[in-house]
Amino acid sequence: MKRTYALFLLLSTLAVAQTDLLEELDAELDTGPLYAESAFKGLKIINLESTKMVDKGEMYFIVAHRFGSIENGFDDFFGLDIASNKLQLIYGLNDHINFGAARSSYQKTYALHTKLRILRQQSEKSPVTIGAYGQLTINNQLDLDLNPDLDFSHRLTYTTQALVSRKFSEKLSLQLSPTLIHKNLTEVDEQSNMQFVMAAGGRYKLSKRISLNMDYGLVTNRPEELNYKNMLSIGLDIETGGHVFQLHFTNSRSMLEHSFLTEASGDWSEGDIHFGFNISRVFDW
């Protein structure tokens, strides 16, 4: 009887110890929220800002080029003789706030922006990533001496975007970017200072390092007097170690939100599109 009791006591002790050990292992494996991998590899889908953020303490240097229309063929070597560029620096203040500054040769424009991550796609809790983007641009090409009725404020435009993305699978990611643009100076009297654009973009992964990207912007209140088109871009993302290389075709020559969304002049059906590329390099401070 004593042996039976001792054996029972030993087995009970082992069972309790095993339960405690399993609880400790479960606690070690619980590393916090299970977030989805970033829906996009680049900070830009093509033209549109993506929900990807610069990590805390990192600095991104981005060089973007946009060439002339390819429709003239060899006359200007498919637009390569005509180029505009944009240089941009973006810093991650923390994992939820980014600040950036840029200079574009298009209208000699300077730009300041900030991007916020409000919510991140998370298993069983949040089906989407939500962010916000704001940009101020200064048109330095506008000559106030030749336009005495204008002042410095007429050089300014403001852009506000909501960024809502979802990574549906390892291959497919989509994003909606409803956008408000305020221009202090309009081109015609019939044009409203405030314009609303419903923009969207997506990414489909073709291989381990290459994806097909597309973005589009529908302007809802453009006056008929302005012969602009809705922005449409198609391109490839190529991951090469420390940077993402983006090749694309688009009907907008500008690379700043207020102009590529509302002032795209190219017509895809007539071959009036522009070739361009973006290169980003990451520096970890």
- 84-118 residue pLDDT tens: 899 999 999 998 999 999 999 988 999 999 999 99
In a domain, 9, yes or no: no
Model confidence, pTM? 0.83
The answer for residues whose C-beta is within 8 angstroms of residue 49's C-beta and 6 or more apart is 43, 115, 133, 161, 163, 177, 257
Q: How far apart are CA 241 and CA 129, in angstroms?
A: 25
Does the pLDDT of residue 194 top 70, yes or no?
yes
220-241, pLDDT tens digit by residue?
989 888 889 999 999 999 988 7
In a domain, 75, yes or no: yes
CATH of the domain at 205: 2.40.160.40
Does the pLDDT of residue 24 top 70, yes or no?
no
In a domain, 19, yes or no: no
Domain extent for 241: 32-284
The answer for residues whose C-beta is within 8 angstroms of residue 124's C-beta and 6 or more apart is none
Do 186 and 157 meet the contact criterion of CB atoms below 8 Å apart?
Answer: no
In a domain, 12, yes or no: no
Do 109 and 117 meet the contact criterion of CB atoms below 8 Å apart?
Answer: no
Report the domain count for the chain. 1
Q: How far apart are CA 264 and CA 226, in angstroms?
A: 11
Rg (CA), the chain: 25
Provide mean pLDDT across the span 29-47. 78
Q: Which amino acid type is present at position 66? A: R
Q: How far apart are CA 180 and CA 195, in angstroms?
A: 6
Q: How far apart are CA 13 and CA 34, in angstroms?
A: 35
In a domain, 16, yes or no: no
Tell me, rounded to whole angstroms, the distance of Cα 9 from its chain centroid. Answer: 63
Cβ count near 64 (within 10 Å): 20
In a domain, 14, yes or no: no
Q: How far apart are CA 45 and CA 161, in angstroms?
A: 14
Tell me, rounded to whole angstroms, the distance of Cα 75 from its chain centroid. Answer: 34
DSSP single-letter state for residue 188: S
Residue 32 pLDDT class (50, 70, 90 cuts): low
In a domain, 5, yes or no: no
In a domain, 11, yes or no: no
Do 230 and 220 meet the contact criterion of CB atoms below 8 Å apart?
Answer: no
